[in-house]
Chains A and B, each alone.
Chain A
Amino acid sequence: MEIKLEHVSKYYDRKILDELSLELKDIHALGIIGESGCGKSTLLRLLAGMEKPEKGKIWINGTLLHGKSIKEYQKEIGYVFQKHNLFPHLSVKENIVLILNKIKKMSRADAEKRAEDMLKKVRMEAEMDKKPDAVSGGQAQRASIARALATDPQLVFLDEPTAALDPILTAEVLRVIQELKDSGKEFIFVTHELKFLKNFADYILFMDKGKIVEKGSVDCLNDPQTELLKKFVEGEKL
């Protein structure tokens, strides 16, 4: 995957991202880390085309995220949110079938088959006919991973998929994500789980106050160049 940022800034009530510029090539799993409020989830949403920067340009795999190109680009991505964001009135399986059948125009039979296969992959076959509020948080998050992967995206975004889960459910979800590593897909993710980050990412961006403070291969976590990353790694280990 190739990522290029050119003077990207984003504001809400204050500056969230501050003139980010970056050029990365041949990355398969990019991990974005940093303290809460540093702008990492905002950067993830910008990279997914879900929000637009106030200033600057973003290219992913050569595509400038702008105007109509965003719609085409988003057809090729999957996104796993912090919360599962499943539609509560539909069963876990129907959440996937709806996207495939009604939005992606796959036949009903093929959509059902694909949904069942994806749910089996995340070990949710026994729960597929239950509504999201009838399964555990970890199971719902696994179902949302299945939904994100059901459209066979080349690039998958994960926005702290375990943020709302307790340690046991976190382990359960991370195990499922870990299994996707060799799927041939590319990942951009935000996480607080250092162990997972080390096992999953091949490149990291460390952010602080809207800026990229340190970047490099995942090995830089073992030998931080900045005091901030050093403190962050030590803090996360505790």
Chain B
Amino acid sequence: MRAKTKWLQNFAAFAIFAAVIVYVLLCTTDNPRYHLILDEKTMLLEALWTTLYISMISLVLCMVSGFLFYLMLKSRVQFIRAAAVIFREIIMGTPMLVMVFLMVYVFGNMLGISNKLVLGIAAMTFYTMPYVANSYESAAAVIDQDQYVVMNLYHFTGVQRYLYIIFPQMVKPMLPALINHLSGIIKGTALLKIVSVPEISYVLTVISSKNWASVEGYLVMWMMYLMITIPLSVLAQYIGRRLENGN
């Protein structure tokens, strides 16, 4: 009975939001013309694919660079630690839009790189890297001092420490955070439209401008992002719960 009540309450909450979304989709304009947008299926699917692979590549790069950045934050050398902290503060205080601009028009020009997709991925990676490093830091905090004492006693090398003791214990607390970072990167790719990377946001702006259907364009964009991010969020929560239960 309790489970049934819980299910009913969940369904009621879902139904309310679904109704609000349907209302917004149908009533925001007098005569919504979604077919003008949805007819461009090929372009939309390509944009979806572009968004996903930019996000996945950025996440992988973030995991690697975020780990190196985490090691810099933990360095014994004061200069490296200070440099990492200053870099983190600068990046965390910079809006993503400005980061994309800086990467494409400043650092891209400086380094002679003109491929906007590459620069876009670099912008996403740099922007997310300090947050991923913070996640590594929180995850590493689960390893108590006693374990380091044992590793010191048996003279584990740096690689052995991470490979056999630290990384395996970091996976649990890191997984939900990483999925949330992926979700953040996916939403962040919308800003790459300012440098004409053909991801969801850019392609929908092009299609909707061509058809004079900007409201419908934004609403479809909203739905497309939700279609990706909600399953990811549910997955993060599911994994979090499974890991908490020790499975």
* B-binding residues in A (CB < 8 A): 48, 50, 71, 74-75, 79, 81, 83, 85, 87-89, 98-99, 102-103
Question: When the two chains form their complex, are residues B169 and A50 in contact, meaning their CB atoms are under 8 A apart?
Answer: no
**Chain B interface mostly:** helix
* Distance to closest chain B CB from A56 (angstroms): 21
Instruction: Check A87–B153 contact: CB distance below 8 A.
Output: no
Q: Which of A75, A85, A89, A102 sits near B150, CB closer than 8 Å?
A: A85
Nearest 4 interchain pairs by C-beta: A85-B146, A89-B169, A103-B154, A89-B168
The residues of B that contact A50 with a CB separation of less than 8 Å are 149, 152-153
Of the A-B pairs whose beta carbons lie under 8 Å apart in the complex, a sample of 17, sorted by A's number, is A48-B153, A50-B152, A71-B155, A74-B154, A74-B155, A81-B150, A83-B146, A85-B149, A85-B150, A87-B165, A89-B165, A98-B164, A102-B160, A102-B164, A103-B154, A103-B155, A103-B156
Shortest beta-carbon distance from A198 to chain B in Å = 29
Contacts of A74 in B (CB 8 A): 153-155
How many residue pairs link A and B with beta carbons under 8 A? The number is: 33
Interface residues of B in 146-195 (CB under 8 A from A): 146-147, 149-150, 152-156, 160, 164-165, 168-169
Closest residue of chain A to B142 (Cβ to Cβ) is A88
Report A145 CB to chain B, min CB distance, Å.
14
In whole angstroms, how far apart are the Cα atoms of A84 and B149 in the complex? Answer: 12
**A residues near B156, Cβ cutoff 8 Å:** 103
Please, how many angstroms separate the alpha-carbon atoms of A79 and B149 in the complex?
Answer: 11
Closest to B163 in A: A102
Question: Are A81 and B168 interface neighbours, CB within 8 A?
Answer: no
Residues of A within 8 A of B155 (CB): 71, 74-75, 103
Contacts of A103 in B (CB 8 A): 154-156, 160
Closest to A94 in B: B164
Chain A residue with minimal CB distance to B160? A102
Roughly how many angstroms separate A88 CA and B143 CA in the complex, as a whole number? 9
Q: Tell me if B154 and A99 are in contact (CB < 8 A).
A: yes
List B contacts of A75 (CB < 8 A): 155
Q: Which of B146, B147, B169 has the most CB of A within 10 A?
A: B146
Q: Are the C-beta atoms of B147 and A87 separated by less than 8 Å?
A: yes
CB distance from A158 to the nearest CB of B (A): 14
